[in-house]
Structure 1
Amino acid sequence: MQEDSSHSPSYTVPCDDFVHVVEFSPFSSGTPASLLAYGGNQYMVVGTCLFQEEDVEVEGVEFNVLRAFHHELRVDALAWSPESRLDRMPTIRTMARLLQADRTKKQNKKPTVTQITTHYNHGMQKSISERTARASGGLVWDLDGNESATFRLQSPGISVCWHPKEVFKLMVAEKKGTIRFYDMVTQQAILSLESELLMSADWCLTNTIKVGGVSGSDWLIWDITRSSYPQEKRPAHIDKARLFRWSRANENLFATTGCPGKINTQLIIHHLGHPQPVAIGSVTVGSGLSWHRTLPLCVVGGDRKLCFWMTEM
């Protein structure tokens, strides 16, 4: 369990308001720059990021706002459509839906999901596959807005993941500690993983057999070919852990955040080959966590800024 000996971010980008969620696009934008979106209270911003590691003419980071959206409610989740590209922007239409889940406390009653708003142009979705579906909790829709599948959950859904190499499979993690994989053709559960209460889970994009998550103050790693229980479990945060995200550039690299404290949120970058953290950071009331598509670089939202940490592979 790590003490908070924080390192400063490698780069920062100022924002006009507090950032609740931030997400790099995992798909190529068609240009050297990466697409990035962030949102907070009644707003969402879509922009491009280019780092000095990608272009020697850039000093630090170059961030350009493409579009700002305004809403009546807070933005709590973002995910990118694979169709979102900059090299064919005039001809492409992408779609975003911001969803608000009404999680009832009554037993044996499914949560309902209400559509808040829809946007066209540079788009995000709560969770999207390479093909035609998006998901939130236990409900799945096609891109025309028609509900295509319903999965009954035993507790609140806390993470939903598609995998670009397993486009007909959906991973749903529940707060009680169960992670299920569903076959979208038969709409049946085909595999389940178990743990204690979960706060977050993620499916490794560079290795389909790896799943990671956080429970209590620990991070957990599953190998789905070996057991339904975690193969590795280590303490990470002094207080409870909040988020787990795999690097998109290295299958052994991942990051976790702690639950926000009175002032700061702790970020820890881990490597499965090293017993000690690769890096520890701290963000003022930080929220959200995402990795760059090709660089070993992650971002956390904060109080009127985005904080980026670059690390070694």
Structure 2
Amino acid sequence: MKQDSTRTTSYTVDCEDYVHVVKFNPFDSGDSCSLIAYGGNNYVVVGTCRFQEEDAEVEGMQYKTLRTFHHGIRVDAIAWSPETRLDAIPPQIRFCTAASDRKLRLFTSDLEDKNEFKTFDGHSDYINDLVFAPNEGQEIASVSDDHTCRVWDLEGNEKAHFVLRSPGMSVCWHPEEAFKLMVAEKNGTIRFYDLITQQAILSLECEQTPLMSADWCLKNTLKIGAVAGSDWLIWDITRSSYPQDKRPVHIDRARLFRSDSYYSKATIKN
């Protein structure tokens, strides 16, 4: 597929550190702005973005840094908690990171005096993805090259442990059913787990590798999307364990797939 080499960035924010990962808050944070976090070699920066498309008084994009959190080691992944609220008194910022030392770090801040973090230790290899439970944010799931998916409470206690057949590349909670977890494995398998019984309940096969990322369709959770190799794939889990649609998306290998209502997107691996 031919790439459009004429596209340029719409907005740019200057950063003092290298940027390894960027994550918008997918939850309602109680303000008209969008919360964003980006992680580098030593820091996580949390800020807000206001876009002209959402606020007519803004020209282009307006960015404001809320706080810089010392991390001390390279940030590889970031997940936002649904408990994050800017309209609370005091406001609450909560997010979790995965780092190159194979540990998770949970940060909680009121953007003033309270700035805490806890370290979760358990994975024995590179952590590829992590996510908060979407309803109350009281649990975090993570997947790793150590062939495990682990579920933690907010104190760092391991609540569930699933052994995978290959590196876990992405993990996401069902948008509506909090007891269902989906894990994409590098070997081309997407597996669904019941967190109550702690058993696998369904699997999908993409028949190509490496499978890098998968996500639920937010408008129809019976549909699953993923990227493997340079293709994106779509499943209807009521019809078959094999994809109903597959198309090339990038010349180079695709890295990330995310669903946004009816619109889906994939990004090239750096």
1:232 lines up with 2:245 in the alignment: yes
Native 8 Å contact 1:163 1:205 kept in 2? no
- CA pair 205-183 structure 1, distance change in 2 beyond 3 A: same
Equivalent pair of 2:165/2:185 in contact (CA under 8 Å)? yes
- The residue that corresponds to 2:198 in the other structure is 187
1:126 and 2:156 are equivalent in the alignment: no
Aligned-partner residue type, residue 227 of structure 1: S
CA offset digits 1:116-168 (Å, max 9, x no partner): x4422169993111232111111111122211101010000000101331211
Please name the residue that 2:233 is paired with: 220
CA apart distance, 1:38: 1.0
Tell me, in whole angstroms, the C-alpha distance in 2 between the residues paired with 1:91 and 1:215: 40
Q: Distance in 2 between matches of 1:255 and 1:61?
A: 22
Q: CA separation in 1, counterparts of 2:162 and 2:79?
A: 21
Tell me by how many angstroms 1:100 deviates: 4.2
Write the mapping of 1:30-179 to structure 2, written as runs, cut at 5 A: 30-90=30-90, 92=92, 95-100=94-99, 114-115=103-104, 117-121=105-109, 126-129=130-133, 130-131=135-136, 132-137=138-143, 138-179=149-190
Q: Which structure is higher in RCO with an 8 Å CA cutoff and minimum separation 6?
A: 1
Aligned residues: 245
The Cα shift of 1:10 comes to 2.7
Q: Which runs of 5+ in 1 are unaligned?
A: 103-112, 261-313
Mapped contact 1:2–1:236 kept (Cα < 8 A): no
- The residue type equivalent to 1:41 in the other structure is N
Residue 101 of structure 1, CA deviation: 7.3
Q: Please give the root-mean-square deviation of Cα atoms over the aligned residues, in Å.
A: 2.2
Which residue of structure 1 lines up, in the alignment, with residue 27 of structure 2?
27
CA separation in 2, counterparts of 1:61 and 1:35? 13
Identity of aligned residues (%): 60
Does the 8 Å contact 1:36/1:49 carry over to 2?
Answer: yes
Cα distance, 1:145–1:95 mapped onto 2, change above 3 Å: farther
1:256 counterpart letter in structure 2: A
Q: Secondary structure of the equivalent of 2:97?
A: strand
1:87 and 1:47 mapped to 2: Cα distance? 15
Runs of 4+ in 1 over 6 A off after TM superposition: 122-125
**Distance across 1 between alignment mates of 2:242 and 2:90:** 48
Residue aligning to 2:113: none
2:254 aligns with: 241
The DSSP-based 3-state class of the residue aligned with 2:90 is helix
**Structure 1 position 5, deviation (Å):** 3.1
The unaligned stretches of length 5 or more in structure 2 are: 111-115, 118-128, 144-148
